[in-house]
Structure 1
Amino acid sequence: MKKTVSVIGAGVAGLASAIRLQHAGYDVTLYEKESMPGGKMHQIKKDGFTFDLGPSIVMMPALYKEIFELAGRDPDDYIPMERLDPMYTAYFDDEKIDVSSDLVKLMAQLEDLSDEDAAGFLSYLKDIYERYIIAKDHFLQRPFRNAKDFYNPFMINQARKLKTFDSANHMIAKYVKDKRLQQILSFQTLYIGISPNNGPSLYTIIPMIEYLYGVWFIKGGMYTMASAMERLFKELGGTVHYNAPVEHILIENKQAKGIQLNGEQILSDFVMCNADFPYAMKNLVKDTEAKGKYTDKKIDSMKYSCSCFVLYFGMDRKYDKVDYVHNFIFSNDLDRNLDDIFSGKLLDKASFYVYIASKMDPTLAPEGKDGLYVLVPVSDLSTAEYEWNEETIQYYRNQVINKLKTIEGFETVEEDIISESYTTPVDFEQRFNAYNGATFGLRPTLTQSNHLRPQAKAKHTDNLYFTGSSTHPGAGVPIVLLSAKIATEELLLDDQPQSN
C-alpha cells in the first residue's frame, strides 16, 4: 500500500514537492486555501486583460524544465519558452540603457561607457562565477540537517571562499566605476527581498545568472508554470483540494500524523508544508515542543524581506514605442530609496519595474491593447511607518503615473488606463499568508542563510517537512524549486530505511 503525503499549499514549492513525491510512488494530496494553484505565482483576469500577480522574470530555465523532465515529459509541451534579448531596459533620469545578455552586444555597450569598466565587468563575472560554482555545489542544493553538516573544516573552508561579508554594492564598486552600471549589476538583490546596500555580496550571482543563462518568457506568462505543474501532478495521479485552508498540523508523540481541515482530522504518513515558514510555525504548528527555537517571540524578532505594491493597468492602446517586456525605472537617488524601503519610510521618489507581458503574448490583452504590470518595492508591514489604505495606494499610484509620463513612450499613460487593480503588502499577508506581508519571506541576511535558515526537515517532529521561500536555500522561483527538491530528498532519506 502506498504511503500518503499531505502537502499544504499549492505554491511553486508545494506543487514541485507534490510532483516529485507522486512520481516517487507516494499517494499525494495537495491542500490549497485559494481557488487556483501557484501561491504568489497567481493570475489576475479583469476586463479582458490577464496579468501575472507576482513573479514575472524567468531565470535559470533548466530548473523550470527539470520538474517536467523528471517525470519523463517534454517541457516544451508544458512551458514553451522564448529567450529575451535585450533582457530589459534600465531607465535613468537622463537616458535609457538596453541590457543584453549577448556578449558581443554587451561588450559594445560597456565599451561605450568606458574600457576600464568593460574590463572590470569581465573581472566581476570571473570572480562571481567561481563563487557561484562553490555555492551551487556545496550550499544551494543540499540541506543542513545537523550542525556538523556545516561546522566541519571542509565546509568552513568553502564558506570562506564565498567571501560573503562584503555588501553587493561595495563589491560591484570594486569592479566598475560608472554609477549606472553599478546599479544595473546590484539592484537584482531586490528579487529576493534584500537591499544591495547591505545584502551579502554573494547575491550578485543574480545578475551573473541573467548574463550567462539569459532571461526568458513563458508563453501565457508565469502563471503557465503554475498551471502546468498542476496539470502534471494530476496526470501522475495526484489529488488537489482548493478552497481548503488547513487549520493546523496534527502532531502526536513528536510525530506529524496529518492535518486538520474544517474541523476534520485527515491522517497521512508525512506532511510537507509549503505555507510560509514563519506563518506555519505560529499558526499551523500548535505543539510548543514541536516549535523548538521558533517560538512566537523568535518569529517576531526575525528579519523579513521587503514587500511589494503591484499595480495592474489595462491600457487602451499598444505601447509600440516601449521596446521590451521588462523595464526598470531607477530613482535618481537609488541608495536613499533602498534605505527608505528597509527603514520603513514612505518613499518620495520610488524606483519601480514595468512588465508588459502582452508584448510577447498578445492573447494576454484585448486586441490593440497592452497590460502594464507595475511593481514598487516597499517596506514589509512590521517595518513600515505608515498604514496601507486608499490614501497610500493613491500616493504610490500617482508617483508611478507622474514618473512614467516623463518617459518616452509612456507620455499618455494616465489617460490610457481603462482598467486597474492592485496587490498591496496587506494582500500578500492576508491572501498568501506571507508573514508581515514580506513577499520574499525571511530576509536572506548572513544570520538567516544556509545552515542558519529554517531547514526542510523539522528539528523536533518526525515526518514533517517544510519548503518555500523562507526555508533554505531561499527566495526566487528557481531557488524555491531547489527548496522543493531538497525537502523531497530529505523525506525520501528518512523513509528509505523503512522501504528496504
Structure 2
Amino acid sequence: MKKKIAIIGTGFSGMSAAAYLAKEGHEVHLFEKHSQPGGRARQFTTEQGYVFDMGPSWYWMPDIMDDFFADFGYKVSDFFELISLNPQFEMIFSDEKIKVPENLEELKVLFEQIETGAGLQLEKFMHSAKFKYETGMKEFVRKPCYSWSEFVSPKIAKSALKLDLLTNFRDYTAKYFKNQKLRTLMEFPVIFLGASPKNIPALYSLMNYGGYALGTHYPMGGFYQLVLAMKKVAEKQGAVFHFNQTVEKINTQNDKVNSLTINGEVHTFDTVIASSDYHHTETLLEENYRNYTEKYWQKRTFAPSSLIYYLGINEPLPNLKHHTLFFENDLDEHIDSIYGDKKWPEKPLFYSCCPSKTDPKIAPKDKENLFLLMPLAIGINDGESVREKYLKEMLSRIEKHTGVTGLLSKIEYKKSYCVSDFISDYNAYGGNAYGLANTLTQTAVLKPKIQNKKLKNLFYTGQLTVPGPGVPPSIISGKIVADEINKLKN
C-alpha cells in the first residue's frame, strides 16, 4: 500500500530514506527548517568568494556512496568529480610529522621505517580490518536492531570472534604496534565515534580500512556536492523538498501519528520519519508517546561537540596539506576533557582542513579556505571570548608548522561555530556534533530504536539511532528505515 510520508529534516539519512521510499512509489515530502538541504553538511559562500562546507570533510568509505547511487542507476561521476588525496592527511607530533600516503603499500613502507616489523603488522591489521569492514558495513550495520535475534545467522555467528566485539580498540591496536605515534595514527579515526579508544569495540578497526585502505577523497566543489547529488536522486524518484519549514508538533490519534504542525499549519500523513535530532523529535510528542525519558538521555554517552572556525586567509599557506591533524599534545588528556571532566581542554588537539589546496574554486586566487575543528565536551559554555582564545592557540601552531607569521592579521573572513550553535541550528542534544557514541553499551540493539514503541507509524533515522555517527552510516540508516516502512502491511 502506497503511503503519504513526511520526513523531518534533510540530512543524509533523511534524503537517503526519501530516495528509497519514493522509488517504491510512496508520496514523500521532506520538511527542512533551513533554506537549503544537508543538515550539518550545509555550505555557505561569503561576499569575498570563499565557499565553506559547514560540517563533514572526510570522504571515507566511498563504496557506501557508490552503492547508494548504484541503487538508482547512477554513478558518483554522474554528479561530481571525486579526487583521491595524496597524501591522505598529515599528522603533526611535537617532534615529527607523518604523511599518510594514498597507497597502502607505501603506508606499509612508512610504518616499517618508524618501527621495525610494523609494515608486516599493518598488513595483518588491515587484513583483519578488511574482514570487519566487509562483514560489518555490508551486514552487521544494516540490521534494524529490534532484537539480538537478527544477528543469529550462520555467517554472523561464524564471524563473531573475528569481529572483536568484546575487545577494546586501544588494547587491540597495542597488540600490533609498539610505537606510540603509530598507535595514535591508528586510533585517530575512532575519536569521532564518540568515546576514548579504551571504550570503543575493536570492531571499529573497520574504519581504518574504510579510510586508509580505500583512500581519502574530496568531491570537487566541496562535500556539499554529495548533498546536492542525493537531493537530485531523491527528486528524480518523486520526493518533494520543502524549505524554511519548521515542524512544531507531531499530532496523534488512536495511537498513530496522523499529522504534523508545520509553521503553524496542520498537514496529514500516513507515516512520519524523523531525521531530526532524536531527543528533540520526542519533545514534539506528548510525553506518554515518547520512547525515552529525559533521564535516559542524560545517561547516554554522546559523541563530541566541536569548536569550528571558518577562515578566509588573504595569502597562500605553504606546507599545509588538505587535511592536517595537530596532535602535538597528549591524546588521552584531550579525550578526558571531553568524556571525563567535560571542560575545555588545557592542551588541545585539533584538525585543519584547507580544501583550497585541492580545489581552487572555493577560495579567491592566491588565498586559502581554512576550516579548523577542535573536539569538545557537549553542554559546556562556549562564549565568544573562550572561542577566540582557542582560535589564537590553533593559529599559533599552524604558524609554527607553516612558517607563516601574523596569521590573525591575515584573516579576511571569520566565522565561529560551537556548542550553542549546534543546539540552535539542529536542536542537537547538548550541542553534540556527531550523535550518540558507538560504545559497547550503545551498539546495535542497545541504541535508541528506529521505530516508536507506541506509535507504529513513527520512525527515527540518523546518527542517534542505528547504525551510528558518520556520513556513510547515516546513508545506511535511511535505507534501513525505508526498508522497514516498505515491509508494513498498512
Q: Same fold (TM over 0.5)?
A: yes
Provide the residue aligned with 1:190 in structure 2. Answer: 191
TM-score of the pair, normalised by structure 2: 0.94
Unaligned runs of 5+ in 2: none
The one-letter code matched in structure 2 to 1:33 is K
Q: Is structure 2 residue 474 aligned with structure 1 residue 480?
A: yes
Structure 1 distance, partners of 2:137, 2:78, is 28
Distance (Å, rounded) in 1 between the aligned partners of 2:405 and 2:335: 26
Deviation at residue 412 of structure 1 after TM alignment: 4.5
- 1:103 to 1:450, Cα distance in 2 relative to 1, 3 A: same
- Cα distance change, pair 228–152 in 1 and its aligned pair in 2 (3 A): closer
| Match in the other structure for 1:441 | 435
CA spacing shift, 1:251–1:368, aligned 2, 3 Å: same
Q: CA RMSD in A?
A: 2.0
**Residue aligning to 2:31:** 31
CA offset at residue 8 of structure 1? 0.4
Tell me the alpha carbon deviations over residues 442-491 of structure 1, each in whole angstroms, 9 at most, x when there is no partner.
Answer: 11111111011123232221121111001100010011111011111011
Once the 2 structures are TM-superposed, how far is the Cα of residue 154 of structure 1 from its aligned partner? 7.8
Query: Aligned residue for 2:284?
Result: 284
User: Structure 1 246/305 Cα, relative in aligned 2: closer, same or farther at 3 Å?
Assistant: same
Structure 2 residue matching 1:367: 3-state secondary structure: coil
Q: Deviations over 1:195-219 (max 9, x none)?
A: 2232222222212211221111101
TM-score, length basis structure 1: 0.93
* Alignment match, 1:12: 12
Q: Is the 8 A contact 1:317 1:370 kept in 2?
A: yes
* Percent identity over paired residues: 30
Matched residue of 1:185: which SS? helix
1:458 to 422, 446, 452: 452
Query: Hey, what's the Cα distance between the residues in 1 that align with 2:443 and 2:221?
Result: 33
Instruction: Note the C-alpha offset of 1:147.
Output: 4.9
Aligned residue number for residue 324 of structure 2: 327
TM-aligned CA distance change 1:122 to 1:357, over 3 Å: same
- Contact residue 251 and residue 287 of structure 1 kept, 8 A: no
Deviations 1:64-117 (A, max 9, x none): 233332222332121321111211011111121110141232122112112222
Q: How many residues align?
A: 488
Post-superposition shift, 1:159?
Answer: 4.3
Distance in 2 (CA, whole Å) between partners of 1:404 and 1:356 is: 12
- Structure 1 position 284, deviation (Å): 2.1
Question: 5 Å matches for 1:126-165?
Answer: 126-150=127-151, 158-165=159-166
Q: What CA distance in whole angstroms lies between the structure 2 residues aligned with 1:320 and 1:404?
A: 10
Could you tell me how far apart the structure 2 residues matched to 1:164 and 1:410 are?
46
Q: Does 1:205 pair with 2:206? A: yes
1:300 aligns with 2:298: yes
- Mark the CA change 1:137 to 1:379 in structure 2 (over 3 Å): closer, same or farther: same
Distance 1:220 1:100, change over 3 A: same
Question: Is residue 193–residue 439 contact of structure 1 (8 Å, CA) maintained in 2?
Answer: no
Question: Any idea what the Cα deviations from partners look like across 1:292-348, whole Å, max 9, x if unmatched?
Answer: 4x12222222221111110111001122432x2111110331221111222212212
Tell me the CA shift for residue 9 of structure 1: 0.2
Tell me if the contact between 1:193 and 1:307 (Cα under 8 Å) persists in the aligned partners: no
The equivalent residue for 2:410 is 416
1:252 corresponds in structure 2 to 253
**Alpha-carbon distance between aligned partners in 1 of 2:137 and 2:55, rounded to the nearest angstrom:** 26
The partner residue of 1:312 within 310, 313, 316 is 310
8 Å contact kept, 2:271–2:458? yes
CA distance in 2: counterparts of 1:473 and 1:491, whole angstroms: 17
The 2-side partners of 1:112 and 1:146 are apart by: 47
| Alpha-carbon distance change, 159 to 291 in structure 1, aligned in 2, over 3 angstroms | farther
| 1:265 aligned counterpart, secondary structure | strand
Give the stretch that moved more between structures: 296-305 or 353-362.
Answer: 296-305
* Cα gap change, 1:62 to 1:154, in 2 (>3 Å): closer
Cα deviation for residue 252 of structure 1 reads 1.9
Query: Partner of 2:246: helix, strand, or coil?
Result: coil
Classify 1:474/1:78 alpha carbon distance in 2 versus 1 (closer, same or farther; 3 Å): same
CA shift digits 1:3-37 (9 cap, x unpaired)? 21101001111111111111111111110011110
| Greater shift in the superposed pair: 457-466 or 216-225 | 457-466
* Residue pairs, 1:78-117, within 5 angstroms: 78-117=79-118
Aligned residues of 1:197 and 1:338 also touching (Cα < 8 A): no
Q: For the residues of structure 1 that align with 2:324 and 2:404, how far apart are their CA atoms?
A: 12
Spell out the pairing of 1:166-185 with structure 2 (5 A cutoff): 166-185=167-186
What is the correspondence of 1:340-359 to structure 2 with a 5 Å cutoff? Answer: 340-343=337-340, 344-359=342-357
CA contact (8 A) 2:199 2:440 kept: no
Kept after mapping to 2: 8 A contact 1:456/1:490? no
More moved, 474-483 vs 264-273: 264-273
Q: Which runs of 5+ in 1 are unaligned?
A: none
Q: Is the 1:150–1:451 contact (alpha carbons within 8 Å) kept by the matching residues of 2?
A: no
Displacement of 1:235: 3.1
Corresponding residue number in structure 2 for 1:57: 58
Distance 2:160 2:404 in 1: 46
Give the AA of the match of 1:362: P
**Residue 143 to residue 451, structure 1, CA distance change in 2 (3 Å):** same
CA distance change for structure 1 residues 256 and 154 in 2, over 3 Å: closer, same or farther? farther
Report SS of the residue matched to 1:375: strand
Are the aligned partners of 2:168 and 2:197 in contact in 1 as well (CA < 8 Å)? Answer: yes
- Counterpart residue identity of residue 332, structure 1: N
